[in-house]
Amino acid sequence: MTTAVLDELRELFGQELAPVLRRLGERPRGAADGPAARLGEEDAGTRDAVWATLAELGAFGPHREAERVAIAELMGAALYQSPYADTVTAAALLAATGDPAYGPLLDEAARGAAAVALAVREDGLSGPARPGPLTVHREADGYAVSGRRPFTAFAADCGHLAVVGAGSDGEPVLALVPRERPGVRLTRRDDIGRGDLYAVELDRAAVSGAVHPVGALWPAVLAAARVRQAAALAGAARAAVELAAERLRSRQAFGQPLARQQAPAHRLAALAAEAATAAAFARSVAAAADRGEDVRATAAQVLYLAGDLARRAAAESVHLHGAHGMTEACDAQLFLRRAAVDSQWLGTGTELLREAAALLSDTPNPR
């Protein structure tokens, strides 16, 4: 990816559009299903335009992880919600199987012409490191799968579901399921992040091609996804801090701008430093992944740090906006909403630390 393309992406997710992007996908409370659940015409148009621009800039193509985290950080700062992140992860897993049957879909995904939802969790408690159970049926004309995936993002916007699950022997398998086949049922969820979450019910849903064992592939693919997610969360933390700083600069209290007060200024400075450090760590782990190193432990660690930070930065941003921060009109609350979901999307902090602790004895110190 050239510097010029990265600059264009910076502009796309920059100050001008960010306020619009942050609110893309907002729906009225309780609008899980029905007409109100659909995006407004204007939002839908904006979302399509952003997706098309990403495709035009080649953001979907094969990239080094170092480039992908740069994109993720920009998207995170703008709270941009889309099937992009899960499509990238699903495509990486599909490609890792080496099955040529996935070629056409992967080509489309690389052009931004196809989106793939990632369906891994069996419930809200279990993280993606231990995919939920998946029943694989051998049918006359191929395979079918059954199972529940109640936290699947943007399923309705995707032509395919990459379903990862524990097969009969407990080892992870991958099944690519066309969304519009019989046996696939989607129910829209209503979550704090106002994201596009779906409960997916698979009842002998037909699989496209084979069912692949991915026990040896999924940990590395998940690790790379975690690093991108960490970069996105670090970007969100930075943006939440910048939003609060803007508020402090414009708000007068006790006869002077709030920006002059050391207590809030130092708290924001500390969070800004943490955000920059988490982003640097994500870039460093991505570079290690590009060198072919095993980054499972450090990926869990950077996501643990970035998730915790994104929640704290969002809460501080709301706090420093005062009561205004609690209102729908204030964007700070959007960061708080998203952080609650995004910080644990690929594992809770405790899960991540447990994984890291188990792996650390095999991970050399950085020196």
Partner 1 sequence: MTGRHPGGLTPAEEEFRGRVRALLAEDRVRALADEIAAYPPGTEATHLPVHRWLGERGWLAPNWPQEYGGAGLGAAEAAIVTEEMTLAGIPDDVHVLSIDIVGRFLLEVGTEEQKKRHLPALAAGEEIATVLFTEPDAGSDLSALRTTARRDGDGWRLYGRKIYNMKSQYGEVALCAARTTESPVAMHGITLFLLPLRSPGVHVEPVPTLCNDRFNLVVIDGVRLTEADVLGEVDNGWALMNDLLQLERTGVDFHAKARRLLDLVTERAAATGRLADPAYALPLAALDARLRAGHAMAWQQVRNLGAGSPDPVGSAMAKWYVTEQIRPVLDLALEVCGLEAALTAWDGAAPDGGVLEAGLRMGPSHRLASGTSEVMLTLIATNALGLL
Binding site for partner 1 (CB under 8 A): 66, 241-242, 245, 248-249, 259-260, 262, 264-266, 268-270, 272-274, 276-278, 280-281, 283-285, 287-288, 290-291, 298, 301-302, 304-305, 350, 353-354, 356-357, 360-361, 365-367
Task: Give the nearer residue to partner 1 in terms of CB position, either 53 or 277.
Answer: 277
CA distances for 98 relative to 92, 94, 106, 203, 287, angstroms: 10, 7, 11, 27, 23
Residue of 24, 18, 20 whose CA lies nearest to 77: 18
Residues 6+ apart with CB under 8 A from 324: 247, 330
Residue of 68, 127, 90, 117 whose CA lies nearest to 344: 127
Q: H-helix or E-strand containing 269?
A: helix 262-290
Tell the smallest beta-carbon distance from residue 68 to partner 1 (Å). Answer: 13
Beta bridge partners of 162: 118, 176
Rounded distance, CA 86 to CA 74, Å? 16
The residue written with tokens 């006359």 in the block is 140
Residues 6+ apart with CB under 8 A from 139: 204, 206
Task: Give the nearer residue to partner 1 in terms of CB position, either 52 or 270.
Answer: 270
Q: 282, 302 in Cβ contact below 8 A?
A: yes
Tell the smallest beta-carbon distance from residue 66 to partner 1 (Å). Answer: 6
Tell the smallest beta-carbon distance from residue 221 to partner 1 (Å). Answer: 21
For the four alpha carbons of 104, 108, 114 and 117, in that order, the dihedral sign comes to positive
Question: What are the backbone dihedrals phi and psi of residue 199, each rounded to the nearest 5 degrees, phi first?
Answer: -90, 125
3-state secondary structure of 150: strand
Task: Give the nearer residue to partner 1 in terms of CB position, either 217 or 303.
Answer: 303
Task: Give the nearer residue to partner 1 in terms of CB position, either 58 or 150.
Answer: 58
Task: Give the nearer residue to partner 1 in terms of CB position, either 137 or 260.
Answer: 260
Tell the smallest beta-carbon distance from residue 178 to partner 1 (Å). Answer: 39
Task: Give the nearer residue to partner 1 in terms of CB position, either 168 or 261.
Answer: 261
Tell the smallest beta-carbon distance from residue 87 to partner 1 (Å). Answer: 25
Q: 312, 267 in Cβ contact below 8 A?
A: no
Task: Give the nearer residue to partner 1 in terms of CB position, either 114 or 129.
Answer: 129
Task: Give the nearer residue to partner 1 in terms of CB position, either 157 or 290.
Answer: 290
Tell the smallest beta-carbon distance from residue 238 to partner 1 (Å). Answer: 10
Please give the angle made by the CA atoms of 290, 294 and 299, to the nearest 5 degrees. Answer: 85
Tell the smallest beta-carbon distance from residue 305 to partner 1 (Å). Answer: 5
Residues 6+ apart with CB under 8 A from 90: 109, 116, 117, 118, 160, 162
Residue 19, both tokens: 């306020």
DSSP state of 137: E
Task: Give the nearer residue to partner 1 in terms of CB position, either 302 or 334.
Answer: 302
Tell the smallest beta-carbon distance from residue 9 to partner 1 (Å). Answer: 17
Tell the smallest beta-carbon distance from residue 273 to partner 1 (Å). Answer: 4
Rounded distance, CA 59 to CA 66, Å? 13
